A and B are shown apart, each in its own frame.
Chain A
């Protein structure tokens, strides 16, 4: 039987097992919305702004590991999703965006709501397609899902002219797809793996450093097994938190600009570094010239272009994380290889000394709410089991530092692009995927206002999340940099004319709570979490001038980490001032 292009789109989504589509209708995509109306296998979530659709699909994808799907119209529909697409691209999140386009005859004509969607998105997608012929449609959508979810995942855009959605053809959904130009390497090179294992067991001061790749590839189980076999210290990047249990004694905390003292110093002093699914981002390495000066480096990554991009490595291994780690475990077992236990004991002694510095310690207060305290209490009250999404800024760092993630896919944040406004729609996407779990959006009064409109979507689709707003009346991270590096000239970082968030939450049909005293923090959180069927907006008035510590100032090395109460916060050198 012949189907229209619009019907084919919906059938393809069904074949891919898509349960939720996040989107917003408009002229060019109306045929597809009509086809959606006539079925009930694929549920559609009507957001209030297309950026929210992309972030919600992204949150869904990160929470489940399945691709997030976005459906928007041409022109502004697509341009509004671009920030969300770029967010997914920088964090390698599988996503398929289907956008309407003006009819093929009008393309290039500056027609109503026409933009060059393929051109606009090209630099921030893994791949994109313009479908000009309905007979190519099903195969193109199959390719889109295949590309988005395999190798190093990422967003794929399918641009769909309106006449193609009206045209008819036989529907055949390919079961499998093979592309001569795309076949990611999954299995690691055995010889390289052997060399890596030999280096690992010889190490005197080894360090495991893992990133988002472990979570994206579901490699947590293998990572835990390998790390425990070796008794090595392990650190996670911001994107990698939860891949290794945050409460495990071998875990030395997050590394990088706001990482722990012990993680950063162990990195700096290690003699063998095992980097797994991480990409040596500038937030992690600090000054490249000062990075891990004594280490021989092993790097496991599915993306060859990640290897030796920023830091030259000694043993590159291209492959999927669980696959490579499984082989490492087998090599260790079969050859009965054991790490150097005497050297390790010495190394752990040193690390424990660094750990004793307690770099996440902060000044408590009875009169003013410390943001770190809210996160500590949130951790307690949720038993460390909630899915936490965050926006971008100080609150994001505190959530990463004080909520000890024990499971992968529990921590959802925009690490690469650093997109304010990400947290709320991402929480909505995660809650749709896991309606039984507590989902908490940790945010600030700056970030939350970038996607507030999604509060309406959350009421409509009944996604009762808890919003923890650390309201310090400042764009906190901007203010922190201005305090340290711009002699306290707080240019445009103060948030005036804030709305009454309690009334605002109520206006959207949710519960609002204002918390002003430290003694009320725990009770408020307990009360909010007990309200299972409503979204609760907790507005915590926090210390306006609290800073995130420790901190490696831009341009500093990992050993130049500054501690609260000990160090004066200054830029390490002038060149650091031009870095972000």
Chain B
């Protein structure tokens, strides 16, 4: 099953390496990983998407907790949560295609950020499957470049992850 794990970790050099190292050393897979400082400059917030059986997820959570730099973590998929990913996509937009591409972007609530004579650069945000949906809606041959931020997320309700 797919899990989104949110981690608060000390904003120290090498902290990211420790997490990445753990996954490669123990053979766990990382689907996506994002990390950035928080409002508290001494802490980074990492969001990690992984897949595995319940036993493997249990081990991943325990092993992450064991890392000295990890202050707190939570498996967002255990409760209600909001998941967001940002995608920038550069597509071919020749005369005959422009209206169709524009319409498609609107359906997915995308924003066209940059325009040239024959390309659009579109921003789409949402849960990962929505971005997947947009990608499959666009003719594959028309895609010039895709960049995705990886998933970030936060729990619904009053529960907050803090140090």
Binding site for B on A (CB under 8 A): 118-119, 122-123, 126-127, 130, 147, 179-182, 303-305, 307-309, 312
Contacts and interface: CB of A to CB of B under 8 A. Distances in A.
B59 A122 contact: no
Contacts of A127: 68
Contacts of A181: 9-10, 68-71
A122 B66 contact: no
Contact of A122 (B10, B14, B70, B71): B14
A180 B71 CA distance: 6
Interface stretch (B17-25, B126-134, B144-152): B17-25
A406 to B, nearest CB: 34
19 contacts: A118-B14, A122-B17, A122-B21, A123-B21, A123-B25, A126-B68, A147-B68, A180-B71, A180-B163, A181-B9, A181-B10, A181-B69, A182-B68, A304-B62, A304-B65, A307-B62, A308-B55, A309-B59, A312-B55
B142 interface: no
B63 interface: yes
Contacts of A303: 66
The 8 closest A-B pairs by CB, nearest first: A305-B62, A127-B68, A181-B71, A304-B62, A182-B68, A305-B66, A305-B63, A123-B25
A119 B69 CA distance: 15
Contacts of B163: 180
Contacts of B70: 181
Contact of B58 (A118, A122, A126, A308): A308
Given A122-B18, A180-B71, A305 B59 contact: yes
B13 interface: yes
Main secondary structure of the interface of A (DSSP, over half): mixed
Secondary structure class of chain B's binding surface, majority of residues? helix
Contacts of B17: 119, 122
B102 to A, nearest CB: 47
Nearest to B163: A180
A50 to B, nearest CB: 23
Contacts, number: 38
Interface residues of B, number: 20
B75 to A, nearest CB: 15
A115 to B, nearest CB: 15
A322 to B, nearest CB: 21
A430 to B, nearest CB: 29
B69 to A, nearest CB: 6
Given A147-B68, A303-B66, A304-B65, A130 B55 contact: no
Given A122-B21, A130-B13, A181-B10, 15 more contacts: A122-B18, A123-B21, A123-B25, A126-B68, A127-B68, A179-B68, A180-B71, A181-B70, A181-B71, A303-B66, A304-B66, A305-B65, A305-B66, A308-B55, A308-B58
Nearest to A307: B62
Interface in B8-37: 9-10, 13-14, 17-18, 21, 25
Contacts of A305: 59, 62-63, 65-66
A307 B71 CA distance: 21
Nearest to A147: B68
Contacts of B59: 305, 308-309
Contacts of B71: 180-181
Interface string B56-100: 001100110110111100000000000000000000000000000
A127 B10 CA distance: 13
Contacts of B68: 126-127, 147, 179, 181-182
A275 B124 CA distance: 53
Nearest to B58: A308
A566 to B, nearest CB: 38
Contacts of A130: 13-14
A126 B69 CA distance: 11
Interface in B135-163: 163
A180 B40 CA distance: 14
B87 to A, nearest CB: 32
Contacts of B13: 130
Contacts of B21: 122-123
Indicate the member of A126, A127, A181, A305 with the most B CB atoms within 10 Å.
A181
Contacts of B65: 304-305
Contacts of B10: 181
Contacts of A119: 17
A122 B12 CA distance: 14
